[in-house]
A and B are shown apart, each in its own frame.
Chain A
Amino acid sequence: MMNVDAEKRKIEDVLKEKGVYIGPTVGVSMLPMLKNRRDTIVVKPKTERLKRLDVALYKRGESYILHRVLEAVDGGYIIRGDNCYVDENVPEEAVIGVLTEFFRKDKHILCTDKKYIRYAEKRIKTYKSRRFFVRMKRNVRAFGGKVLRKLRLRK
């Protein structure tokens, strides 16, 4: 009726044994699609080369990272989180799984869903404009901070 495995296990071991990993999301790098510790991801083992728009689960040291494939290149992938502004070169062997579905709040979304694919395309297409606004915001903030500090020093 209920099987409880309270041990913390490596995701790659769960994928090997059960053929699927279902768990919570941690982090903000895939916002606005996945919210930290609210949403649920369903990951299956990688059985073939991933392609553009796939969301790869890979390991960096002992950490697990779930980011989107921008391009499949020789020996690996160019990958970036939907809420990130830096591309990563990830070797093929570091990728252990691929996101196949997820729950956003209580909404169940398949990664083959047309609306979802449109979202993923848009997220990549609008990257440059988003990066521009993020940088501008950062610069305005830094400039404002500088001005405030100078004003305080004068007083």
Chain B
Amino acid sequence: MKIKNGFVVREVGGESVVVPVGEMSKNFHGMINLNETGAFLWRFFSEDHSIDEGVAALLEEYDVDEAIARTDVEKFAETIEKNGFAE
């Protein structure tokens, strides 16, 4: 999975927000808020990676159980797909 180009993650006041840029800002007018894990996964999937690679990356970055990591990555991927953010 790869997130479409045209988004940037901004850290403001301890929160992560995704902001559309360029052509994308003409089409997407909503707001995307991420928590720490969400911001990590957003950056990770800004390049093409599989779900398994996402789980491995999350396990390497955070002290978390594999089952929880997999659920998080799958849930993240589902939201990305559902909102049309994936290429």
Residue ranges of A at the interface with B (Cβ–Cβ < 8 Å): 1-9, 14, 20, 22-24, 26, 37-38, 40, 42, 101, 103, 106, 108
Question: Interface SS of chain B: helix, strand, loop or mixed?
Answer: mixed
Known: A3-B31, A8-B29, A20-B13. 10 other contacts (CB 8 A): A2-B34, A4-B30, A5-B32, A9-B30, A22-B12, A23-B31, A24-B21, A24-B25, A38-B22, A108-B11
A76 to chain B: closest CB distance in Å? Answer: 29
Chain A contacts of B1 at CB under 8 A?
A: none
With a cutoff of 8 Å between Cβ atoms, the chain A residues found around residue B34 in the complex are: 1-3
- B19 in contact with A1 (CB, 8 Å): no
Residue of B nearest to A2 (CB): B38
Of the candidates B19, B23, B83, which one forms a contact with A22 in the assembled complex, judged by CB atoms under 8 Å apart?
A: B19
Residues on B with beta carbons closer than 8 Å to the beta carbon of A8: 29-30
Residues of B within 8 A of A (CB): 8, 10-13, 17, 19-23, 25-26, 28-35, 37-38, 41-42, 72, 75-76, 79, 83
Contacts of A103 in B (CB 8 A): 8, 10
Q: In the complex, which residues of chain B have a beta carbon less than 8 angstroms from the beta carbon of A37? A: 21-23, 25-26
Chain A residue at smallest Cβ distance from B23 = A37
- Residues of chain A lying within 8 A (CB to CB) of residue B25: 24, 26, 37
A42: B residues at CB distance < 8 A: 10, 12
Instruction: Given A2-B38, A6-B83, A23-B19, verify A40-B32 contact (CB < 8 Å).
Output: no
4 nearest CB pairs, A to B: A8-B29, A6-B30, A24-B25, A1-B38
A2-B34, A2-B38, A8-B29 as given contacts; A20 in contact with B83, CB under 8 Å:
no
Distance in angstroms from B22 CB to nearest chain A CB is: 5
Check B32–A3 contact: CB distance below 8 A: yes
Of B19, B42, B75, the most chain A CB neighbours within 10 A belong to B19
